[in-house]
Amino acid sequence: METSLRYTCNSKSLKIHAKEKLHVNSKTHLQLHGELDTGTGAPSYFCAMIRHLFPEASTGLGVGFHYDKRQKLRCHVRGKKEFPVRDDKTVTFNVKGRCDFDQDFNQRNPIGAAEFAWNIMNFKEDQDVRIKVGYEMFDKVPYMQIRENNWTLNANMKGKWNLRFDL
């Protein structure tokens, strides 16, 4: 099980996030993840999603359900396509999208982004770094991510940011 501590500037509370992947076969897995808000002591959300990878096309697709304490049950569909910029895949151009629907398939919340990712292996001894710079198309906002082994910082040009530490 993967576990992380997350702090978001909006909620101003520390959250404990857990994720488990149950492999169906070499290219498909059931992903379960949820979050506990330490400020309220209650779960923030729970999600179950079937994800399938198409490694020959550098593509992944997922479909599942998301239960949120505010929006109740929602359906999710997501996809990601990776285009290598360099032969060694240290630099990629990624196109990704997600859409979630309410129970009646009326209300939709689309999210789509295009980003460049640069993976720097052994930046320092036993330290890997990933830098992402992208543009979220529906919110029309540039964003960035810096990840170093267990630490991740996400920020966008609207002033939103979050910090994650993987346990």
**pLDDT for 71 beyond 90:** no
Sign of CA dihedral 83, 89, 94, 100: positive
User: In the structure, what pLDDT confidence band is assigned to residue 11 with cuts at 50, 70 and 90?
Assistant: confident
Distance CA 144, CA 155 (A): 6
What is the band of 161 on the pLDDT scale with cuts at 50, 70, 90? very high
| Weakest mean pLDDT among 1-10, 51-60, 127-136, 145-154 | 1-10
Domains of the chain: 2-166 (2.40.160)
State which of 8-17, 100-109, 143-152 shows the largest mean pLDDT: 143-152
Number of H helices, E strands in the chain: 0, 12
> Mean pLDDT throughout 44-59?
96
Q: Which helix (H) or strand (E) holds 90?
A: none
- In order of 22, 103, 109, 164, the CA distances from 4 in angstroms are 18, 29, 26, 7
- CA distance from start to end of the chain: 10
The residue with tokens 């949820």 is: 34
Strand-pairing partners, residue 29, are 23, 51
For residue 57, the SS3 value is helix
pTM of the complete model: 0.89
7 neighbors 15 (Cβ within 8 angstroms): yes
